[in-house]
Amino acid sequence: MRQGMLHVRRTSSETLVAKRLRTQVAIVGAGPAGLLLGQLLHREGIDAIVLERRTPEYVLGRIRAGVLEQGTVRVLEHAGVAGRLHREGSIHRGIEIGIDGRRRRIDFEALVGGSVVVYGQTEVTRDLMDARAACGARSIYEVEDVRLHDIAGRTPRVSYRQHGEACEIECDFIAGCDGYHGVSRRSIPPEALQVYERIYPFGWLGVLADVPPAWEELIYASSPRGFALASMRSATRVRCYVQCSLEDRVEQWSDERFWDEFKRRIGEDVAARMSVGPSIEKSIAPLRSFVAEPMRYGKLFLAGDAAHIVPPTGAKGLNLAASDVWYLYEALREFYVEGSDRGLDGYSARALRRVWSAVRFSWWMTTQLHRFSDEAFNERIRAAELEYLFGSRAAQCALAENYIGLPL
């Protein structure tokens, strides 16, 4: 990175004094997608600056899921940040699917020879932050008024303000890793994007609590009362969910009410042996499927939630971000090392093939395990589909193959 002298840019109404920075890739967003891309590029000798509007403490305070596909683990290994993951992560070789109190284990190892790792997204972010700080790569937090300029031209730039000072980054490319509400996708002309969206008529109420899990693997439970998910973050911390109305508010759900409802849905045997405790975090998340195509506009490349959202049922959000980042890293490495545009030109199509596979799987898991309405026909179809899953090895193989992650 090269930092230049202060320069003056004149607008129609004022004189703006800005600090000019120069980098090869400007990364907007310091979540796991942006930090992972920055770390991969740094190890390849490609300079990148990461911008983030929040503080590091705020970023680390976000509570997110943490089921990592095999491919995601390999990407983190390539980035040199998988040491603590391998020491502290929990390998899961299957999940349980419950229907009205009956459960069937989907054995990933026996069915497709694979597994996943449970390791919180917060911990992935922490590892990436620590690695970036250790290598001296530049991350700039608490920035405001971020704007992208000339993204369809020859000289892309990112302007922002930090602590009242106006700054600008000149770069070769911009990576938009700033999430669904970020500035990156909104900087693309609406007519240049095709948007696909499905809004689900319910949300997930999630509770984080410091109690030991009464289950060894994740349990996805479907009952007449609605969906529930039993998951964990460690041997002493659980993350549990119940399907709820979009009209519900967190304040309506006391800890006592949540645990009572969770036990009713998860199954009598699990409920009988589980411990409960006060929540340390409680939130309601609406469910949606969202894809914006293409994932490239000029010199701007979208990755992660900036381009797509999936319901959490299939555990694909973080994993899709990792695959986007891997494809973009390979394309940028090919450009800088080999002088070829081929990877950059093919990035969007390559990423979207995997995105739509994950969107389909997440949609399938969501529709099969949640109650959408009391319409008798729909409920009978859903019950027949789950019975087929329980009785068909081929159906179980398809679920296992998608859950552990299709090849990158």
Catalytic site residues?
A: 92, 220, 312, 316, 403
Distance between CA atoms of residues 117 and 72, nearest Å: 10
- Closest listed residue to residue 95, CA positions, set 123, 114, 76: 114
In angstroms, rounded to a whole number, what is the distance separating the alpha carbons of residues 332 and 173? Answer: 9
Which tokens hold the place of 108?
Answer: 């990933």
Cis bond before residue 294 (omega within 30° of 0): yes
Q: Which letter does DSSP use for residue 109 in this model?
A: H
Other residues' Cβ atoms within 10 Å of the Cβ of residue 145: 11
Residue 227 CA to residue 244 CA, distance in Å, equals 9
Q: What's the first-to-final CA gap in the chain, in angstroms? A: 31
Maximum CA pair distance of the chain? Answer: 71
Of residues 77, 2, 5, 4, the one with CA closest to residue 47: 2
Sign of the torsion angle spanned by Cα atoms 231, 237, 242, 245: negative
Tokens 């990792």 sit at which residue?
322
The type of residue at 343 is G
Nearest CA to 182 out of 41, 292, 46 is that of 292
Instruction: Give the tokens for residue 157.
Output: 């730039």
Asked if residue 96 lies in contact with residue 103, where contact means CB atoms within 8 angstroms, the answer is yes
* Three-class secondary structure of residue 108 per DSSP: helix
* Residue owning tokens 């319910």: 202
Q: Whose CA is closest to 158, among 27, 264, 39?
A: 27
Strand partners, 354: none
Instruction: Give the distance from CA 200 to its chain's centroid.
Output: 18
